[in-house]
Amino acid sequence: MDVELIAAVRRFNRTVTQRVGALDDGYMARGRPLAQARLLWEIGPDGAEVAALRARLGLDSGYLSRLLRTLETDGLVTVGPSGQAGGDGRVRTAALTDAGRAEWAELDKRSDEFAWSILAPLSASRRGRLVAAMAEVERLLMASMVAVEPCPPADPRARACVRAYARDVARRFDDGFDPARSRPVRDDDLVPPAGVFLLATLNSEPVGCGAVKLHPDAPAEIKRVWVSDTVRGLGIGRRILHELERYAAERGWTAVRLDTNRNLTEAIAMYRSTGYREIAPYNTEHYAHHWFEKQLSP
C-alpha cells in the first residue's frame, strides 16, 4: 500500500464531500440529506425499478427501503408493482408523485446553479482545466468500480456477454461471424478445473468477459475476451486478460496462447504491448489470422 497515494485520495475525498455539500443535513437547502435527494433524482420523471436503483446506486436493500419509505411519507414517491402491461407483478417500481416531479424539477434547477457556483470564481482557462480533470476522474473512478469475477458460463449474464461478443465480431470480420464455423467453446471447458469464465460488471450490469481453457500438457488458451463500448478505453480488457493469465499461472501453466482476427486491431495492439509474441498457427480456427503466445511467471 502506497501511503502517499492513500493520503492523496483521502484529501480529495474530504475536499469534494465538503464542496458538494454531502455533509449538509439539507442538501441544496431542500431539507433532506444528499442520499434522499440523489435517490429522488435517480427515480426521475419516468420512474425506475427498485432493483435497478439498488444496483445503480450500490445501496443495501434495507437502506434503500428506508430511503424510499421516507420519500413516500413525504408524499414525493409511490412504490408498487410494475404497471406495465404484461409485466411481472413481482417487480417493484418507484414513481414520482406530482409533488415529487415538482421537487425533482427544483433539484434540477438548483443543481445547475450549484454547478455554476463552482465554476464562476475561476477564469475561463481554469474552468476548462477543472471540467477536463473532472471528466478524467469520472472515467478512472468508473474503471475502479468494475468488478471482475468468475461466473458460470451458463449464467444469463455470461450468455448475454457472449452474444454481445458475437454481434461485435460479426460487424467487424470481413465475412461476418457464424459460430458454427468457429471452433467450439463448450461450457464444460470453462468451469474448474478445466478452465474459468470471468465476468466484468459495473453496478451489477455485465460489461465484459473472457475465458481461459486449461489444456492438459499444452499452453492454456484464452477465449472470448470482450468489453462493452460503455467501458471501452478504461483498461478493462487488459484487466480481464491479466486475471485470465494469473488464473492459469496460479494453477501451474507456464504459457498461454490465443488466436485473433486481423480486423481486431485494438486487441492485437493490446496483446503485443502486454508481452505476447506472434507464433505459427496452432489450430484451424476459420476466423483467425494471427496466433499469439506469452510465457507466464509462476
Tell me if residue 49 falls in helix, strand or coil. Answer: strand
**pLDDT tens profile 214-227:** 999 999 999 999 99
Q: What is the bridge-based pairing of β-strands 255-260 and 220-227?
A: parallel
- 61-65 mean pLDDT: 94
pLDDT at 85: 45
Round to whole Å and give the CA distance between 296 and 137: 33
Name, in order, each residue with C-beta under 8 angstroms of 26's C-beta and a sequence gap of 6 or more: 32, 33
* pLDDT reading at 143 higher than 50: yes
Round to whole Å and give the CA distance between 183 and 132: 45
**pLDDT tens profile 243-286:** 999 999 999 999 999 999 999 999 999 999 999 999 999 999 99
Within a 10 A sphere around the Cβ of 211, how many other Cβ atoms?
24
Name, in order, each residue with C-beta under 8 angstroms of 237's C-beta and a sequence gap of 6 or more: 208, 225, 227, 266, 267, 270
Whose cell is 485470465? That residue is 244
Residue type, 181: R
Whose cell is 471447458? That residue is 189
Within a 10 A sphere around the Cβ of 194, how many other Cβ atoms?
15
- 209-214 mean pLDDT: 98
* pLDDT reading at 42 higher than 50: yes
pLDDT at 87: 54
This prediction has a pTM of 0.83
Question: Length of the chain, please?
Answer: 298
Nearest in space to 267 (alpha carbons), one of 245, 249, 240, 246: 240
Whole-number mean pLDDT of the chain?
A: 93
Tell me if residue 173 falls in helix, strand or coil. Answer: coil
pLDDT-derived band at 132, boundaries 50, 70, 90: very high
- 150-175 mean pLDDT: 96
**pLDDT tens profile 69-108:** 999 999 999 999 876 545 556 789 999 999 999 999 999 9
Whose cell is 472515467? That residue is 139
pLDDT at 26: 84
Taking each helix axis from N to C end, the angle separating 236-250 and 265-273, rounded to the nearest 10 degrees, works out to: 50
Round to whole Å and give the CA distance between 241 and 215: 17
User: Helices (DSSP H) in the chain: which residue ranges?
Assistant: 3-19, 34-43, 50-57, 61-73, 98-119, 124-145, 156-172, 236-250, 265-273
Round to whole Å and give the CA distance between 71 and 65: 10
